[in-house]
Amino acid sequence: MVDPARTPLILGNSKMNLTIARAIAFLDRFLPSFTPAADRELALGVPFTALAAVGELIRDRGIGLAAQNIFWEDEGPYTGEISGRMLDELKVSYALVGHSERRTHMGENDRMINRKVRAALRNRIRPVLCIGETESQRAAGRAETTLRDQIGRGLEGVTPAEANGLLVAYEPIWAIGTGQAASPQDAAGMHTMIRAELDRRFGSDAGSVRILYGGSVVAGNIDALMAQPEIDGVLVGGASLLPEEFLRIVEFLPARQ
């Protein structure tokens, strides 16, 4: 049985694409057609600079606020960084941690990612630990080992009691921004493996961890992805910038119990 704490989550990741003006323009088109529903949750992951403005516009609209990154210390001499304490002040509920673009372009490694996961938990922000294999790891039959390593290192020191504040996003790197989403069956298979790994680490407390799928999610594949009971939601990049497309994703069918 699916844990009732695993309400499906649609999480938009606008990446470095929204100025405040563009975020407002997006919401001007999105909000009038959006109605919250009890069987799903929506959160918007916008750049740091847009968090306050977006937070203001979505207040009491049944939409959560997410950050795309978080630093591992709460304060101190870390010029340019943004801490969990600062995000908490902005009423941020979720923070992406270890997105593959940060691993690739900013040199984030599993140790840094682990510290970020723990910083988020300490500040009552739900970390979304992003994991995923490259095309060549997959071709070499190393996808599962890669994911297991990323989980093991990324969650070091996280206790079973903390697990209910945690989410994992499975984002195969070959599927991000390519238009080549994993098939619903392949994604479900990987989610099953990830859940087994979480069960091994956290025991029964793992039951509340939501595992999202990310990578070329669009209006045309959302229903098939969400029809897989192993998929507890999605992380949506490009399609989350298009108000009508994103609305259709949020309105995935059929509704879940």
Q: Judged by CB, which is closer to ligand PGA: 52, or 242?
A: 242
| Residues catalogued as catalytic | 99, 171
134 class by beta-carbon count within 10 Å (0-12 exposed, 13-18 middle, 19+ buried): middle
Whole-number Å distance between alpha carbons of 257 and 255 = 7
Closest CA to 232 of 250, 210, 214: 210
Q: Write the CA distances from 29 to 20, 230, 242, integer angstroms.
A: 15, 32, 9
**Closest CB to ligand PGA among residues 201, 212:** 212
Q: Which residue from 8, 207, 215, 243 is in contact with ligand PGA, where contact means CB under 6 A?
A: 215
108 interacts with ligand PGA by CB under 6 A: no
Tokens coding 42: 């929506």
159/183 with CB nearer ligand PGA: 183
Distance of CA 87 to the CA centre of its chain: 16
Single out the residue of 47, 98, 132, 238 in contact with ligand PGA (rule: CB under 6 A): 238
Of 8, 9, 10, 13, the residue at the interface with ligand PGA (CB under 6 A) is: 13
Q: Which stretch binds ligand PGA (CB under 6 A): 76-84, 120-128, 142-150, 211-219?
A: 211-219
Given the rule CB under 6 A, which residues bind ligand PGA?
13, 171, 176-177, 214-217, 235-239
